[in-house]
Homo-oligomer: A and B are copies of this chain.
Amino acid sequence: MKETKIILSDKEIPKKWYNIMADMPNLPKPPLHPGTKEPIGPNDLSAIFPMALIEQEVSQERWIDIPEEVLDIYSLWRPSPLFRAHRLEKALNTPAKIYYKYEGVSPAGSHKPNTSIPQAYYNKQAGIKRIATETGAGQWGSSMALAGNLFGMEVTVYMVKVSYGQKPYRRIAMETWGATVHASPSAVTQSGKKALEADPDNPGSLGLAISEAVEDAATHSDTNYALGSVLNHVLLHQTVIGLEAQKQFELVNDYPDIIIGCCGGGSNLAGISFPFLRDKIHGRDLRVIAVEPASCPTLTKGEFRYDYGDVAGLTPFLMMYTLGHDFIPPGIHAGGLRYHADAPLVCQLYHDGLMEAKACHQMGVFEAALLFARTEAIIPAPETAHAIKGAIDEALLCKEEGKEKTILFNLSGHGYLDLQAYADYMDGKLSDYEYPDEKIKEALSKLPVF
């Protein structure tokens, strides 16, 4: 019997997160206040974030302790298994060794609870009673609902109205974990009311949902806001993925030549790659590849400059590869990758040549997803399938070149709640879409210049 899973015991869950800011050759430029355009300080953030998370946001300590209470909850699904993809390798007839770290084992089905749990914990410690957040299709909202519930906190989720209606399952999951879910725009906030007055049939957008959640948090003293990607502390929490993978590779006496993650905001890619990137920064030969959709090619076609983190322009300016904050990506099935920019940490590392990026088309991504489901049995989320596509491409290159490389990718979530996308693909209803360069230029031309 071949060894398929490399597993660790509860005792081997990492006790510290790894902060890549301690090792980066160049730190990201600081976030700027949207009014003064001066670097923002901790006080600017304290209205909506607890101080412990603000400290993590700016910390340059290499190792940050994971609280005992967070470890207790992590142990419900962590350490997650590392799989050797024997069947996929065989189907590709590649000399490459393909490994994947499976984060879909979390109760919410993705890597998102790695950060929703500590975010709920630190807010609870700070005396906060309620978390307001936004969600698109519901992957982040359900993870935050789960986390709030486990710490006995209320969670209010503003869910983009079109998803609220069309994708009821993740909404029901949020409610099952006790959260209150509003279709956004809602009549609960001023931002929502204003949008509804202008157009009662407004289908909502992530930008509007963010506005509602931030307004809710800013106008209730017992309530904070939580974000599922982009920020430094979110990426920090995700490093448990890569830290576990390092131990698992030690157990099989191997080390990846190539690490691949899909990239929307960048948190799952950061999670699996940052601990290994530390080795690369110190000289190790290693490639890290961000795979993004050709319909939202932020790293591959965006510009590295200051932009707002949200569509509505409520957040600080962040230094990112961006397509412009009013860029509206087409409605591809990988909803979690439809973000106009990327996390500042990921952007800086990409800028400094420590990461690569490639953009993939939707049809090729679903072809890869189907091959994976039919060889490795797990049905992946459409977002995750971008990483699979990236891994398959590299494995086929190894075959061409006759090289036995070791490839690791992050299987960041399962696709149980995304099966309609598979039906659409199999029924020939999907197509490729590449965002036209001229449209990107136009969106970027509207950005302020610093």
A residues with CB within 8 A of B:
1-5, 7, 9-11, 13, 68, 71-73, 75-76, 83, 86-87, 105, 107, 109, 146, 149-150, 168-169, 172-173, 175-178, 370, 373-374, 376-379, 416-417, 419-420, 422-423, 426
Contacts and interface: CB of A to CB of B under 8 A. Distances in A.
A419 B176 CA distance: 9
Per assembly, the copies of the chain total: 2
Contacts of A419: 168-169, 172-173, 176
Contacts of A376: 76
Contacts of A87: 150
Given A7-B9, A374-B177, A1 B172 contact: no
Secondary structure call for the A interface: helix
Contacts of A426: 172, 175-176
B109 A150 contact: no
7 contacts: A5-B76, A7-B10, A76-B83, A168-B419, A176-B373, A176-B379, A176-B419
A75 B1 contact: yes
A376 B2 CA distance: 32
A377 B175 contact: no
Contacts of A149: 374
A2 B72 contact: yes
Contact of A178 (B11, B73, B146, B374): B374
Contacts of A2: 72, 75
Contacts of A374: 149, 176-178
Given A7-B10, A176-B379, 20 more contacts: A1-B11, A1-B13, A1-B71, A1-B72, A1-B75, A2-B72, A5-B75, A7-B9, A76-B377, A105-B105, A107-B378, A146-B377, A149-B374, A169-B416, A172-B422, A173-B419, A176-B374, A176-B419, A176-B422, A177-B374
